[in-house]
Amino acid sequence: MTDAVVQIARDCLEAAETGTMTFPRIVGALADAGIESYRIDFCRAVATYYQADGTVFELSAPFAPFAVAKAFDAAAVAVAIRAAQTQAESYTYPGFCRTVTAAGCAGYLVSFSGRRALYVGRTGETHVERFPD
């Protein structure tokens, strides 16, 4: 891990929060930096990055930890994902985070090589979202 890779991850995390980069651009920047996957933990407000060489590092997320609903509503998570994918006029990443945590999502893992994101509830329920072609 280099300081440059950590800075790219930090910049992408901030860009998601402020809406200055789209998800596809963030994915491209992180993958180009050698990051293979990342995980967002809403309960701890932490982003964990995993590099192809086995290096792992964490960054504090710019949002406060969220209260996660007990029940996992995969359909509501999917609706929030669609709004993000289509860049709906009302879409913001902070709004997405509030919506999915209210739907019981405690965090998610994005795998670039697996071309999917896995959304996880407090009791292990999941919703798998494959990257669009």
pLDDT, one tens digit per residue, over 9-67 is 999 999 999 989 988 889 899 999 999 999 999 999 999 999 989 999 999 988 778 89
- Chain centroid to Cα 120, Å, comes to 11
Task: For residues 88 and 111, give the distance between their C-alpha atoms in angstroms, rounded to a whole number.
Answer: 23
**pTM tops 0.85:** yes
120: number of Cβ within 10 Å: 20
Report the percentage of the chain scoring pLDDT > 70.
Answer: 99
Task: For residues 84 and 99, give the distance between their C-alpha atoms in angstroms, rounded to a whole number.
Answer: 11
User: Which domains does the chain carry?
Assistant: 3-130 (3.30.1810.10)
